[in-house]
Structure 1
């Protein structure tokens, strides 16, 4: 089996884990672990794992001038991004999160135009507009009466905050990735993530009644820490050794399909015409925003 085939399998594996995560993480909250307490569990577990694996990487020291960017990236990628997503998942539904997560590429296009002056073509602008309309439809009209989704509009809005902070993180971390090994960056970013999240999340973390956690909930927590946080990053790093970043990012389009199928199969969510329409608008918008224009003859 060629390395390229293995890289494609790794990318599909990472996307599959992300797709399952929408439903699995939802099953834990808020009955057993509240969202902010879950984040403290996630960043602490990931920090331990990345420190452990960092001994197999190069011995690097982050330069003093780069610590500011490392801190901002940690705030965006290990705090705001995660806090908004998990709180949104508590308030909304797995299908909504699976659909709205795909607007990240659109956010990247907009932020790239604002911060690094990347040109936005008519095609990209159309994609951004369609994706925004789809997200707005889901936020404003996707509400439905559900005990486990107490505030769907707010939850959907938080998914957009999650996508925006993650998009900004991707832009800012790019220079660091070019300079430092991923293991070096991840161990320090997740360590900072613990300190940043601690004041917000410790109260909910301290409320966890460990002895009352069923085995399936413990499995779900481990899945989020080891699978969603640790292995997905390793899979994506390996995939990048054989695939272009643009090719790897295209796999995010599988998330709504996988997330919706898993949510429906486990009976954790249901489809509606509003969700279908919003999903089609978002996905087509992402396609237009991410598609490379044809070269001029």
Structure 2
């Protein structure tokens, strides 16, 4: 009997280890997708597709995919009292978030955008303190300060930097991070009541309806005859991988690892962008990216990553 118990315990441990490994591989995959997304999305804007039209296409396709999953596998009902919160989540987590991100990446460097997005864990902490009254330790306060210096330095420097950087683009990306961070805090009570697919389906639906007045005119004025195979592949990547699969990977990973482990993978995104931009600039000879890497951006990246590390560090 004891031998059987030990055998089952070892088997359970091995299964848990395999699932944990799969979770980390899923997080790695999701953040590789996000890291590549910056340069893929920028590659077709604005000369082929406007930012608002891009968001329109993304939300139409992603909403359809998520609702297909919801109706087939997770057809649960929502309490009417939760719809105002869902509408607010749609505004912050889908409409405003994506409008600011795509307009921002349209104007600035992929490297700048990926560095600024690593402020999300710190911003989540601030909103959790303001809205959920969660305590902020000295370590976390120091981390917020250091990370903020890095982000502000990068935003201000974007006005004077060469390459594809810009102050307005960097500011839009930071406002996008604010919108997304507040969404993560506001959606938290709903995640305790409903399946994640149910929540994201409604969030994307309301987000689509709220951005319709901005995205539809731009979409109707798009010159689709100018699209080539690369354009369609880029749109397909953003819709299928960045929106659909990356979200599913994150949902799967949250079953086996903590949210803090999940969010820590965002550190990979600036590194992925540095590598991709370097390849584009110095191997593929894309001259518009050759001035996107410099000492100020490296310093900003280090400050933001150090700040997020301090925020994530457990108190003694």
TM range (shorter): over 0.9
Mapped to 2, the partners of 1:292 and 1:62 lie a distance apart of 36
Query: Contact 1:98 / 1:260 at 8 angstroms: preserved in 2?
Result: no
Mapped to 2, the partners of 1:188 and 1:115 lie a distance apart of 22
Match of 2:280 among 238, 263, 266: 266
For the pair 1:173 / 2:187, whether they are aligned, the reply is yes
Query: Contact 1:10 / 1:238 at 8 angstroms: preserved in 2?
Result: yes
Match of 1:144 among 152, 161, 164: 161
Q: Find the counterpart in structure 1 of residue 233 from structure 2.
A: 219
Note the C-alpha offset of 1:51.
1.3
Q: Please give the root-mean-square deviation of Cα atoms over the aligned residues, in Å.
A: 1.3
For the pair 1:70 / 2:92, whether they are aligned, the reply is no
Mapped to 2, the partners of 1:232 and 1:258 lie a distance apart of 16
Note the C-alpha offset of 1:162.
0.8
For the pair 1:287 / 2:301, whether they are aligned, the reply is no
> Alignment partner of 2:135: what SS?
coil
For the pair 1:56 / 2:45, whether they are aligned, the reply is no
> Alignment partner of 2:119: what SS?
helix
Q: Find the counterpart in structure 2 of residue 208 from structure 1.
A: 222
Q: Find the counterpart in structure 2 of residue 114 from structure 1.
A: 130
For the pair 1:135 / 2:151, whether they are aligned, the reply is yes
Q: Find the counterpart in structure 2 of residue 8 from structure 1.
A: 24
> Alignment partner of 1:263: what SS?
helix
Mapped to 1, the partners of 2:162 and 2:227 lie a distance apart of 28
TM-score by length of 1: 0.95
Query: Contact 1:57 / 1:183 at 8 angstroms: preserved in 2?
Result: no
For the pair 1:191 / 2:202, whether they are aligned, the reply is no
Note the C-alpha offset of 1:206.
1.3
Match of 1:277 among 282, 299, 308: 299
Q: How many residues align?
A: 291
> Alignment partner of 2:27: what SS?
helix
| 1:152-204: CA deviation from partner (whole Å, max 9, x where unpaired) | 11111111111111111000111111111122122222111111001112221
> Alignment partner of 2:118: what SS?
helix
Note the C-alpha offset of 1:211.
2.4
> Alignment partner of 2:134: what SS?
coil
Mapped to 1, the partners of 2:313 and 2:244 lie a distance apart of 29
Structure ranking higher on relative contact order (CA contacts 8 Å, 6+ apart): 1
5+ residue gaps, structure 2, are: 1-14
5+ residue gaps, structure 1, are: none
TM-score by length of 2: 0.89
- Greater alpha carbon shift after TM alignment, 51-60 vs 191-200: 51-60
Note the C-alpha offset of 1:131.
0.8
Mapped to 1, the partners of 2:197 and 2:22 lie a distance apart of 21
